[in-house]
Chains A and B, each alone.
Chain A
Amino acid sequence: MSDSSGVSNQEPSLPSGDVPLFGVLAEYSTPQQLLAASRVVRDAGYTRWDTYTPFPVHGIDGAMGIRPTILPWIVLGAGLTGVAAGVALQWATNAFDYRWIVSGKPFWSIPANIPITFELMVLFSALTALVGMLVLNGLPHPSHPLDLKQRFLRVTDDKFFLVIQADDPSFKLEMARELLAGTSPVVVETVDEDRVTSDRLPRPLVLGLMLLVVAAAVPFGLAAKARASTSREPRFHVVPDMDFQPKMKADRANPLFDDQRATRAQVDGTVAAGELHENTAFWTGRVDGVLVTSFPEESPTSEAAVTRGRERFGVYCAPCHGLVGRGDGMVSKRAELLAEGTWTPPSDLQQDYIRTMPVGQLFETITNGVRTMPAYGPQIPAADRWNIVLYVRALQRSRATSSSDLPASQRDSLK
Chain B
Amino acid sequence: MAEHPNKPALSDSDPSLQLGSIADRAVNGLAALGVVALVTAGVLGLSAHDHGRHFMFAYLVAFAWVLSIGLGALWWVTLQHLVNARWSIVVRRLGELLAANAPILALLALPLVIPTLLGNHELFPWVDHELMHSNHVLHKKAGYLNVGFFTVRMALYFGFWSWWSRHLLARSVSQDKNTATLGLLERVRGASAPGMIAMAFTITFAAIDLLMSLDPLWFSTIYGVYYFAGCVIAVHAVMVLFTLWFQSKGRLTAVTREHFHDLGKMLFAFTVFWAYIAFSQFMLIWYANIPEETGFFMERIHGNWLHVSYFLIVGHFVLPFFGLLSRHVKRHRVGLAFWSVWMLVVHYVDLHWLIMPNYQHEHASFGLLELTCWVGLASLLAAATLRRAKGKNLVPVGDARLSASMAFENV
Interface set of A (CB-CB < 8 Å, partner B): 32, 56, 58-62, 68, 76, 103-105, 111-112, 114-115, 315
Task: Tell me which of B286, B287, B327, B411 contacts A60 (CB under 8 A).
Answer: B411
CB–CB A32/B1 < 8 A: yes
When distances are taken between beta carbons in the complex, the residues of chain B under 8 Å from A103 are 287, 289
CB neighbours (8 Å) of A56 from chain B are: 411
B283 interface residue, CB < 8 Å from A?
yes
Instruction: Count how many pairs of residues, one from A and one from B, have CB atoms less than 8 Å apart in the complex.
Output: 29
Cβ of A154 to closest chain B Cβ, rounded Å:
19
Is the CB–CB distance between A59 and B409 below 8 Å?
Answer: yes
Min distance, Cβ A52 to any Cβ of chain B, angstroms: 15
Interchain CB contact under 8 A, A114 and B283? yes
A-B contact pairs, 29 of them (CB 8 A): A32-B1, A32-B2, A56-B411, A58-B408, A58-B409, A58-B410, A58-B411, A59-B409, A59-B411, A60-B411, A61-B411, A62-B409, A68-B327, A76-B325, A103-B287, A103-B289, A104-B289, A105-B287, A111-B279, A111-B282, A111-B283, A111-B286, A111-B287, A112-B283, A112-B287, A114-B279, A114-B283, A115-B283, A315-B291
How far apart sit A150 and B283, CA to CA, in the bound complex (Å)?
59
The CA of A60 and the CA of B408, in the complex, are separated in Å by 12
A112: B residues at CB distance < 8 A: 283, 287
User: What residue of chain A has the Cβ atom nearest to residue B328's Cβ?
Assistant: A68
- Report the Cα distance A62→B410, complex, angstroms: 10
Docked Cα-Cα span, A56 to B1, in Å, equals 18
Residue of B nearest to A31 (CB): B2
Docked CA distance A59–B282 (Å)? 43
- Interface residues in B269-324 by Cβ distance below 8 A to A read 279, 282-283, 286-287, 289, 291
**CB-defined contacts of B286 to chain A, threshold 8 Å:** 111
Q: Quick one: CB contact mask for B314-354 with A, threshold 8 Å, 1 for yes?
A: 00000000000101000000000000000000000000000
Distance in angstroms from A67 CB to nearest chain B CB is 13
Q: Which residue of B lies closest to A105 (CB)?
A: B287
Interface centre among A60, A62, A111 (most CB of B within 10 A): A111
C-alpha gap A62/B2 in the complex (Å): 20
Closest 4 CB pairs of A and B: A59-B409, A58-B409, A111-B286, A111-B283
A103 closest partner in B (C-beta) = B289
Cα A105 to Cα B287 with chains together (Å): 8
Number of interface residues of B (CB under 8 A): 15
Q: Closest CB-CB distance, B5 to chain A, in whole Å?
A: 14
Q: How far is the CA of A114 from the CA of B279 in the complex (A)?
A: 9
CB-CB nearest in chain B for A314: B291
Residue in chain B with minimal CB distance to A56: B411
Residues of B within 8 A of A61 (CB): 411
Write out the residue numbers on chain A whose beta carbons fall within 8 Å of the beta carbon of B1.
Answer: 32
Distance, CA A58 to CA B2, complexed state (A): 14
How far is the CB of A291 from the nearest CB of chain B, in Å? 32
5 further A-B pairs in the complex, CB-CB below 8 A; given A32-B1, A58-B408, A58-B410: A58-B409, A58-B411, A105-B287, A111-B286, A112-B283
Nearest-CB residue, chain B, relative to A59: B409
Instruction: Kindly list chain A residues whose C-beta atoms are within 8 Å of the C-beta of B408.
Output: 58
Which residues of the other chain, B, contact A32 by a CB distance below 8 angstroms?
A: 1-2
Q: Give the chain B neighbours of A62 by CB distance below 8 A.
A: 409
Bound complex: CA A112 to CA B288 (Å): 11
CA distance A56 to B410 in the complex (A): 10
A105 to B291, CA, bound (A): 15
Closest to A76 in B: B325
Residues on A with beta carbons closer than 8 Å to the beta carbon of B289: 103-104
CA distance A56 to B279 in the complex (A): 36
Digit string of B1-43 for contact with A (CB within 8 Å is 1, else 0)?
A: 1100000000000000000000000000000000000000000
Least distance between A54 CB and chain B CB atoms (Å): 15
Give Cα A315 to B289, complex, Å: 10
Distance of A289 Cα from B289 Cα, bound (Å) = 40
A200 shortest CB reach to chain B, Å: 32
In the complex, what residues of A have CB within 8 A of residue B2's CB? 32
CA distance A103 to B288 in the complex (A): 9
- Closest residue to A60 on the B side, CB-wise? B411
In the bound complex, CA of A112 to CA of B285 (Å): 11
Closest Cβ–Cβ distance, residue A42 to chain B (whole Å): 16
Q: CA separation between A115 and B287, bound complex, in Å?
A: 12
Q: How far is the CB of B293 from chain A (nearest CB, A)?
A: 14
- Which residues of A have CB within 8 Å of B279? 111, 114
A76 CA to B287 CA, complexed, in Å: 30
What separation, in Å, do the CA atoms of A221 and B2 have in the docked complex?
A: 60
Tell me the bound Cα distance from A105 to B283 in angstroms: 13
User: B45 CB to closest chain A CB, in angstroms?
Assistant: 36
CA–CA, A32 and B325, complex, Å: 31
Contacts of A59 in B (CB 8 A): 409, 411
Shortest A111–chain B CB gap in Å is 5
* A78 smallest CB distance to B (angstroms): 14
- Chain A nearest CB from B150 CB (Å) reads 31
- Nearest Cβ on chain A to B167's Cβ, whole angstroms: 32
Most buried by A among B2, B282, B287: B287
Q: In angstroms, how far is the closest chain A Cβ from the Cβ of B263?
A: 17
Give CA–CA (A58, B325) in the complex, Å: 21
Least CB distance from A330 to B in Å reads 11
Chain B min CB distance to A295 (Å): 24
B325 — which chain A residues lie within 8 A by C-beta? 76
Q: Which of B385-411 contact A (CB under 8 A)?
A: 408-411
